[in-house]
Structure 1
Amino acid sequence: MWEVIATYRLLAAGSAHPVHGGWMDQVRPRIAAAGLDSGLLAELIPAHGYLADFLTPPPDEPAPSLDTELAAIRATPADQIRADLDVLDRGGRRGRSLHTDPQDWLDRLVGEIEAYWQLALAPYWARIRAVLDADVFHRARQVAEHGASHLFNELHSELSWDDNTLRMVRRQCGISRATTGPGLLMIPSAFAVQVFTWSRPAQPPQLAYPARGTGTLWERRSTAPTEALAAVLGRTRTVLLTELEAPASTSELAQRTGISAAGVSQHLTALRDAGMVSAHRTGRSVLYARTALGESLLAATA
């Protein structure tokens, strides 16, 4: 959900981005066509400042699925939703409806989040997840080798660790141990441009921060079909796998490769059954994307 928040804000800002520009160009038209740029998400995720805390529930596991987080959102007490909306004070029509009848409108909100995920994040998740996992491993090693002070002082320019206290530079942040639970949940984000904080009594505070290595997220992999991989998969399937540098539909792949749409569909089904590509419905069409397995196979034979 932190990535849902960060990406939605990035798209809503409308400005260019030095790293995510290509992704934004691909995703923004899909979001607009689905009407997701003007619904509940648009009212609950402002471009700046506070956003409703119930949208980012504390995880109970290191890498919860979207379904797990959406279940936690659905379980948010009505009083908590109203309290968050009062702080947000957006005043939009849908926001007021959510305030009046939270349980009914929560289903609509969850539906928007699911649709947004399928359009903006699911086709790219293998790459995004790889960057996030690499960041977690790097930070864990920092703590093991140098301690928490080194970790926090290297994490982001807005953060500093001094005298056993974590401070946010040039930011007003009202988090204290008197009002939060034990521990600190650190959440890397491939799309965050600043540090986000979350706190609620009895819950451990959350700290979402820009992940290390985000600049490599959209680096082009080798697109030349390798003979070694082609010998195993067949040349046509290898070509299709390499063409999925960015998510694409059957018709797009057919135009680019000269393979018939029926042939593309047949080979993509085989690749999907083998776990090398994933399919994500976007309106009337389906986008196909390489999975982590597909990425690894291409990298290993490049």
Structure 2
Amino acid sequence: MRTELAFSTADLAQTRFAVSPLWEVATAYRTLAAGTVNPAHRRWADQVRPRVAAAGLDRGMLSALIPPGSYLADFLTPLAGSPFPTLESELAAVVATTEEELDLQLAFLARDRPLPPSVRILRDDPAEGLDRVAAELRAFWDLALAPYWARIRRVLEADVFHRARTAAEHGPAAVLNDLHAAVSWDEDTLRLVKRQCGLNPRMETGAGLVLVPSVFAWPGVMTWSVPPYAPQLCYPARGSGTLWEMPKSAPSEALSVVLGRSRAALLAELETPASTTDLAARTGLSAAAVSQHLTALRDAGFVTAHRAGRSVLYARTEVSDTLLT
């Protein structure tokens, strides 16, 4: 694999951004699997790791397909067809992976370490194996990312907005040269410093480049190069380090008057996603009262509900964050 890519001004003109749920799944999974978690994500990891372990996702097929520190199977992060692909559309692309692509990527994975028995079904019965992979991806999303997605997506969208403004003020070349210390571009070549980030020759890939911000990609960049498609480059999004640092919000008197003290207090407690039982213990309200208030807040668009195993986690929406801060 190459660390340089022929990159003309025509390719620059076809460079675009995408906010990808499955890229976030892949980078978040790798973050949890790492021996040492980036301190910026420790609060998130402490909440999520027990759920992931209880579901067996730390030792399932994803553990083989997303090994720490090396190549991860490219079919897990399909090329985004739009700036904001849905999880459903990306999972459909995973399930549609061809046997040829699957065999090639499994062989690439096996170069670093023998493939465990858990992924043999991908060779023995690709259709069934891909369905199981998609189920694990969805389960990890539900447990580790869905309750936090509104907050994560705000950071990713802010990064894209910043890059777009940079392109408008200084030209698109400035965007590539400001992505990461490992990435540079000079008229006809895109260069990557890190050797683990490989790219196929331009004659094998599609034109342009898809840039994918990720809050979990730090400290490096990751590449996706699957002929004949345009390559992807996943890079750390600006503001990722402060993602979980939202100060605890106290409801204002005015907000309490509008929503009622109990509902305003529940919103303030949802600094991080929590269950009805957790909120009842924190606020002193009965579980039945908390459930009733949360139902009303969800119907009004102030909270969202996400199943995590046997529990349901409630999370604030962007509207709620704005009201509180």
Q: TM-score range by the shorter chain?
A: over 0.9
1:94 equivalent to 2:124? Answer no
1:292 equivalent to 2:318? Answer yes
Whichever residue aligns with residue 32 of structure 1, its letter is: A
Greater displacement, 216-225 / 3-12: 216-225
Q: In 2, are the aligned partners of 1:198 and 1:205 still within 8 Å (CA)?
A: yes
1:233 equivalent to 2:259? Answer yes
Whichever residue aligns with residue 51 of structure 1, its letter is: L
Tell me the equivalent position of 1:2.
Answer: 23
CA-atom RMSD in angstroms: 1.2
The 5-angstrom pairing of residues 204-243 of structure 1 reads: 204-243=230-269
Relative to structure 1, the CA distance from residue 59 to residue 163 in structure 2 (aligned partners, 3 Å threshold; closer, same or farther) is closer
Task: Spell out, residue by residue over 1:217-252, the C-alpha distance to the aligned partner (whole angstroms, 9 max, x if none).
Answer: 112234211112112211111100110001111000
Give the Å deviation of 1:209. 0.1
Task: Tell me the distance in 2 between the aligned counterparts of 1:155 and 1:78.
Answer: 34
Tell me the equivalent position of 1:110.
Answer: 134
Whichever residue aligns with residue 168 of structure 2, its letter is: A
Tell me the equivalent position of 1:119.
Answer: 143
Tell me the equivalent position of 2:70.
Answer: 49
Q: In 2, are the aligned partners of 1:222 and 1:298 still within 8 Å (CA)?
A: no
What is the SS of the residue equivalent to 1:180? coil
Whichever residue aligns with residue 80 of structure 1, its letter is: E
The 5-angstrom pairing of residues 101-180 of structure 1 reads: 101-171=125-195, 173-180=198-205
Give the Å deviation of 1:41. 0.7
Task: Tell me the distance in 1 between the aligned counterparts of 2:49 and 2:287.
Answer: 26
Of 262, 270, 274, the match for 2:296: 270
Greater displacement, 258-267 / 76-85: 76-85
1:84 equivalent to 2:108? Answer no
Q: In 2, are the aligned partners of 1:199 and 1:205 still within 8 Å (CA)?
A: yes
Task: Spell out, residue by residue over 1:88-134, the C-alpha distance to the aligned partner (whole angstroms, 9 max, x if none).
Answer: 11411021121211101111111111111111000001110000000
Any unmatched runs of 5+ in structure 2?
1-21
Task: Tell me the distance in 2 between the aligned counterparts of 1:91 and 1:215.
Answer: 34
Give the Å deviation of 1:191. 0.6
Tell me the equivalent position of 2:283.
Answer: 257
Count of residues in Structure 1 that have an aligned counterpart in Structure 2: 299
The 5-angstrom pairing of residues 193-208 of structure 1 reads: 193=218, 194-208=220-234
Task: Tell me the distance in 1 between the aligned counterparts of 2:200 and 2:184.
Answer: 15
Relative to structure 1, the CA distance from residue 25 to residue 227 in structure 2 (aligned partners, 3 Å threshold; closer, same or farther) is same
TM-score (norm 1): 0.96
Tell me the equivalent position of 1:187.
Answer: 212
Q: In 1, are the aligned partners of 2:200 and 2:227 still within 8 Å (CA)?
A: no
Q: In 2, are the aligned partners of 1:31 and 1:119 still within 8 Å (CA)?
A: yes
Whichever residue aligns with residue 246 of structure 1, its letter is: T
What is the SS of the residue equivalent to 1:155? coil
Tell me the equivalent position of 1:61.
Answer: 82
Whichever residue aligns with residue 207 of structure 1, its letter is: L
Greater displacement, 219-228 / 96-105: 219-228
Give the Å deviation of 1:78. 2.0
Give the Å deviation of 1:183. 1.4
1:23 equivalent to 2:44? Answer yes
Task: Tell me the distance in 1 between the aligned counterparts of 2:141 and 2:37.
Answer: 21
What is the SS of the residue equivalent to 2:267? helix
Task: Tell me the distance in 2 between the aligned counterparts of 1:214 and 1:180.
Answer: 30
Any unmatched runs of 5+ in structure 1?
none
Percent identity (aligned): 59
What is the SS of the residue equivalent to 1:11? helix
Higher relative contact order (CA 8 A, sep 6+): 2
Whichever residue aligns with residue 247 of structure 2, its letter is: R
Task: Tell me the distance in 2 between the aligned counterparts of 1:56 and 1:170.
Answer: 20
Whichever residue aligns with residue 171 of structure 1, its letter is: R
Task: Tell me the distance in 2 between the aligned counterparts of 1:197 and 1:101.
Answer: 28
TM-score (norm 2): 0.89
Of 60, 63, 66, the match for 1:39: 60
Large movers: runs of 4+ above 6 Å = none
Task: Tell me the distance in 1 between the aligned counterparts of 2:128 and 2:159.
Answer: 38
Q: In 1, are the aligned partners of 2:143 and 2:309 still within 8 Å (CA)?
A: no
Task: Tell me the distance in 1 between the aligned counterparts of 2:253 and 2:186.
Answer: 55
Q: In 1, are the aligned partners of 2:31 and 2:37 still within 8 Å (CA)?
A: no
